Structure 1
Amino acid sequence: MDETMYKYGRLGTLEQKRVQTNGIEVPRNDIRVLLLHPQRGEDFQVRCDLVYLNLSDPHPPPFYALSYCWGKEEPKFPISLNGREHWVHPNLFDALQRLRDRDDVAGRFIWIDALCINQNDKEEKGSQVNLMGEIYEKASKTFIWLGEHEHASPLAMDLLNSVTEENLRDMLEDKSESKPTEQAWVALRALFERPYWSRVWILQEVVLSRPSYLICGNSMCSWDSVRLLLRSENFEVDKKNISVGSHNARMAVVSESILPKLLVNIIDGRQTNAQKLEFWDYLVLSRQRNASVAHDYVYGVMALVDPPALRADYKKPVGELYFEVVKRLLCLEKKIGILSMCCETQVEDRATPHAAAVVGGEPGTSYATSLPSWVPDWRTRFKKDYQSRLLCKLKYSAGMAGPDTQPDIECEAGSRTLRVRGVFVDSVTFVSPANNLNRWPQVGEDWKTWTQHISGSGNMYGSLEEQREAFRSTLQCQYHGNKTRNTDGSDQYFDIAVGRTEGSLVDPKRTFGKAGRQFFGTSNGYMGRGLDDVQAGDIAVVLLGAKVPFVLRECGHNSHYRLVGECYLHGIMNGEVVKDPTKELVDFYLV
């Protein structure tokens, strides 16, 4: 990359001038924008110039912004930038060609991160990333580039362009004369599965932009069409199907969730101040997306918080960034729920070209070893289905979560040890084999093991029928919170599992969930479910202000523990131990 391309002097006005090559670094609140020139006759080369404008100017010239996926790096294609040859990734090259061919874009300013930010200058990159929220908010339009047409994608774009408030219901109920075909709905699913939707950055780029337009090949449609369709009561999305009214167009698995639907919900919530998400909510969402730089799992969502939670600094080691963010959330904002994000995850190298990324500033550091157990590593994904089963999302209040009981948390300056106050509940004495709760014979064995275990120590649940109810509820913990127990066949399944009846009519995976939590028992007869990592000898605790209990593992001495993860412990999920006057509050030190 030609570094002189990104140097210029401070101009007195915002008139269109090429970037100077003998100047200074980008002034504060100044950004570069691209002047995309129309095609000249038979000259098909993409030609553009870098110009800068000041976001603080009361009347800045209008500019557009591009939201896109960087995609594959090779093969690179040449464009003319400030009269010099400059090589860009293939997906950006395609986008520039399509935008250049549009009369409403050619000859106008457009902001594109890969060209308008010097990606090799970490200091400048940080300062410009701090402005990205404002850039997308102030852009006259944001173009969402989904890539060139593939297969039936023109049908998907035609479908979206046909959506209006007047014809939406008829279209979804098959009453419209020009109703979309099933092939069009399948094409729409494919459009929503494109790599673009997996990016961290689109969370803020789409949410903050108004108006936005989707571009696929030579087709364009308004984001409002997507929003109108996905917020319709007749358009229901789940993990395995897109169901569209009575048409019921069944499709293959879409994804863990359709991100466009999520974006619509976020935008609606922000505009109505209903269900407004907080910084740690966005961090949870970012963990399931992709980023090319590990810092961006944090920086990619910070503009969604008002005021921004922090300032971007790409010189800061990733581990230090994650530590500082979580320390702030816990100690200053008292967001104790963030501890539920510390769990066994599916380690993926999504952020760097190295399997062992730079965590504490030194190459070769593993993903987790340099971070305290109470700091989530945002570069790792949750295991499949785990995010949707976080216990802290359910209506529990084990630590009396609410305004009357605040978390008692402290991390002294210079320390990586977190002090949290709570109640010791019990010690884990046995754990079922991992990943076996989706096989009914193992559930029966767990029941028998627990009944044998309590025969000598007593139990917390009363009669045999009450014990069965507790066991049944424990297996269902991740679905129901304190809601009414379901009637989807679990009674029959339980009876089969414990040998009370014969048969195999109920699917255990559907009833009690896929693998990811295992059954355990405690010394005083509690039963619970925790992560696959739970071991005999661990302790279960309830922390003040937390919705759910946690499992800790002693390491060293003096009440120092490693956080294993959240858990369900039947009988203490609604503040029972915190309200118990015989229970003593103690400090736990997490390392």
Structure 2
Amino acid sequence: MVSISPRLRDSLDYEDPEETDPRFSIGFRSVSLASTEYEYLELQGDHRTWSGSPDPAASRRRRRQRTSDRLLLEHAVPFQYRTIADGDVFRVVTMLPGERSKPIQCRLSWENSRKPRYDYRCLSYCWETTERDSAILVDGYRFPVTQNLHNALLSLRNVKSELRIWIDQICINQEDHEERSYQVSIMKHIFTNAKEVIVWLGEADDKSAKLCEYARKMPRGEHVVRDSPKNALKRILGQRQLQDALQKLLARKWFTRVWVIPEVALARFNTVAIGNELISWDNMVRLIRDTPMPEATGFDKQSAILGNPRQRIAILSQMVASQRENLYHTDITQLLILAKSSEATDLRDKVYAFDGITLLRTQIDYRDLPDYIRSVERVYLNIAHHYIDSITSEDYYSRWHGLTEVRRTQQLMSILYSAGKLHQHLDLPSWVPDWTFAWYQAPLWCKADSNMAAFSGRDGWSAGIRSGYRAGGEKLETFEFVDGAAGRRRLRVSALLVDTVLQVGALAGETGACMRLLTQGQISQASTPDAIDLPTFSYGRDHFITEHGLHGLATTGIAPGDRIAVFLGGDVPFVLRPNRDQDGDDQIFVLLCECFISSKGIMGGEHTQNNWTLAEDIILK
């Protein structure tokens, strides 16, 4: 049973933590590691001395490690958290020195997130699984950990010196929702005040050591003479070998997790670890940026969808630049791209993970803690509502970032392009993004390019990925909330209803008709810069024909009778489904998805420019 915190207050800002919080006093731990109670856990049967390493044989090391792990799992007393970590305090792991074949021994101590007393580091890694099938000793007790964390600790442990490091799996009681809420609320301070964040990408593979060597020796700057270094680099890895090794690196699970985003973005300094190899974060980013990847044929997830590995690295790099310039990062387009492309054990973390790196709150009130009891649907609805309110109603958001009206409009529209009933698993209003529904199509409303060049603290990155379409022009009109049935919020927007879907898929004459129009040049390439890449943009989409005889592409699931609408300020049209309410209001629609129409006038914005006075307010439910 976890006891209540012994402190009287949750904040230590105005008091000496060593005098007010008994957790900072000497001896506030479960047991001393000086105890001889676990002497029987020492390895038996092989006490030979080896030169340079305790055991040079890899197979023997693994066997001895398995033996020590088994003894830990079978005999040591299980660890129990006895005090809740709340307010501004958090736990820090001190990993004791040891040889690779010995059990990992740690002790826990308390630290103040706002005024840390001693230096510490943070570990950024991927759980990979919730199964904790390995074990370490924490304060003399058996503590189960995942295999990937165990591998990381083995690689990071020093044979002579201690390592103070924050590790979420150990320092947070993951079974206590209240403690998790407190710890998420101070995560910004934990990572900002850390001396260094160590990014553990996993165990070494057949090319990772050479890849790290290549990254360390790459020339820096545009004015470096590259001929000689380039020849030296080729001796490390040839071009094809380099591309293969980099693709393997980017396929590692670490690049898909949501919590690694704030961990890297908030750090003073990042070091990347792969097995026993270490490189700086900047070296890894330069390697990814300067290595051209082979052209893919057909639909390629590594380059076609939003949140692909290279794009994630680019967004993370801009967030790092924001941190270095003491700026909060609040580019909603980037938050949407990262959240929907990330994985999280708790689905609420897809928005809570951004709590410490943005001016935007993830709670209704700034005094509230992240709520792990509230339903996922309610959390997503609240955050979408707050994102929209922040742009349309709260001046501080625009003033802080110097957003123009065009940029404000672009960020609002990115919320709607991330939503739609055909892109939702959860029961949400159609205008709310479902962060559990990952990107799986090439977007029409923006580009999936990495945009590696825009590494500034300000929100310049998103402008570089905007699509070439301007269907709704640049001017935003109505964009506001209205109350709906059963207290559910609806969104009122200004739109031009330009056409109606007549036939879909195989019923639309020949399904390749639209594609032939594109390839034969009957649709201007200037007005359709992205749709020329046919295999990429047709993946996951159906062809359709409208009542006016136009061809188009839209997500599978549209049906005859659905309306094609252009929202004022939007880049590409939407598909809407009429949804008349009990009062007979025929201006209520369900947002389905974005779409492409084979009309230069519509996609280029001429139709909106000539008919904007005919726009009407519609309601999305």
| Secondary structure of the corresponding residue to residue 333 of structure 1 | helix
Which piece of structure 1 moves more, 11-20 or 336-345? Answer: 11-20
User: Counterpart of 1:454?
Assistant: none
What residue number does 1:399 align with? 472
Instruction: From the superposition, tell whether residues 515 and 305 of structure 1 become closer, same or farther in structure 2 (CA, over 3 Å).
Output: same
| 3-state SS of paired residue (2:265) | helix
Partners of 1:162 and 1:447 in 2: CA distance: 48
Is residue 421–residue 430 contact of structure 2 (8 Å, CA) maintained in 1?
no
Q: 2:151 — aligned with what? A: 94
AA paired with 1:263? L
Tell me how far 1:271 sits from its aligned partner. 5.2
Query: How far apart, in 1, do the equivalents of 2:469 and 2:382 lie?
Result: 28
The answer to whether the 8 A contact 1:240-1:253 is kept is: no
What residue number does 2:90 align with? Answer: 31
Cα offsets for 1:251-299 (capped at 9, x unmatched):
9968944344553355347657999761342122221121111111112
**Corresponding residue of 1:279:** 332
Aligned AA (1:536): P
1:270 & 1:479 partners in 2: Cα distance? 33
Cα–Cα, structure 1 residues 420 and 554, in superposed 2: closer, same or farther, change >3 Å? same
Structure 1 letter corresponding to 2:279: C
Question: Given the alignment, which residue of 436, 454, 458 partners 1:379?
Answer: 436
The question of 1:143 aligning with 2:198 is answered yes
Alignment of 1:265-276 (within 5 A): 265-268=318-321
1:270–1:545 distance in 2 versus 1, CA, 3 Å: farther
Gaps of 5+ in 2: 9-16, 31-79, 364-368, 393-411, 449-464
> Does residue 416 of structure 2 align to residue 339 of structure 1?
yes
Matched, 1:12 2:30: no
Displacement of 1:25 after TM fit?
Answer: 3.5
Please point out which of 568, 573, 576 is paired with 1:544.
568
Structure 1 length normalisation: TM-score?
0.73
Task: Give the superposition deviation at 1:393.
Answer: 3.3
Q: CA deviation at 1:429?
A: 4.1
Match of 2:402 in 1: none
May I ask how many residue pairs the two structures share in their alignment? Answer: 504
Task: Indicate if the aligned counterparts of 1:50 and 1:82 stay in contact, CA closer than 8 A.
Answer: yes
Q: Which letter does structure 1 place at the counterpart of 2:619?
A: Y
Tell me: CA distance 1:140–1:555, structure 2 relative to 1, closer, same or farther (3 Å).
same
How many Å separate the matches in 1 of 2:350 and 2:295?
24
Identity among equivalent positions (%) equals: 23
Cα deviation digits, residues 92-136 of structure 1 (max 9, x gap): 111122222365xx4232111111111111122122112222222
Structure 1: 5+ residue stretches without partners: 242-250, 348-366, 449-465, 481-489, 491-507
Q: Which residue of 2 aligns with 1:48?
A: 106
Structure 2 SS opposite 1:425: strand
Partner of 1:423: 495
Q: Does 1:222 align with 2:293?
A: no
Residues 1:145 and 1:417: Cα distance change in structure 2 (over 3 Å): same
Residue in structure 2 matched with residue 81 of structure 1 by the alignment: 138
Between the aligned partners of 1:382 and 1:226, the Cα distance in structure 2 is 25
CA distance in 2 between partners of 1:542 and 1:331 (Å)? 22
Letter in 2 for 1:303: G
C-alpha distance in structure 2 between counterparts of 1:573 and 1:38, whole Å: 64
Q: Aligned partners of 1:416, 1:239: CA distance in 2, in Å?
A: 47
Backbone CA RMSD of aligned residues: 4.1
Residues in 2 aligned to 1:17 and 1:160: alpha-carbon distance in whole angstroms: 45
AA aligned to 1:227 is V
Report the equivalent of 2:512: 443
Give me the whole-angstrom Cα distance separating, in 2, the residues matched to 1:168 and 1:224: 20
TM-score by length of 2: 0.70
Give deviations 1:379-416, integer Å, cap 9, x for gaps.
111224348867993144433334xx344221339732
Partner of 1:246: none
Please tell me the residue identity of whatever aligns with 2:343: N
Q: Which of 386, 394, 401 is the aligned partner of 1:328?
A: 386
Find the counterpart in structure 1 of residue 620 from structure 2: 590
CA shift digits 1:142-162 (9 cap, x unpaired): 111122222332222222333
Aligned to 1:411: 482
> Which residue is 2:189 aligned to?
134
Is contact 1:517-1:532 (8 Å) kept?
A: yes
Distance change >3 Å, CA 95–CA 444, structure 1 → 2: closer
Return the alpha-carbon distance in structure 2 between the equivalents of residues 88 and 293 of structure 1: 18
> In structure 1, which of residues 479, 493, 502 is the aligned counterpart of residue 530 of structure 2?
479
Deviates more, 1:28-37 or 1:148-157: 148-157
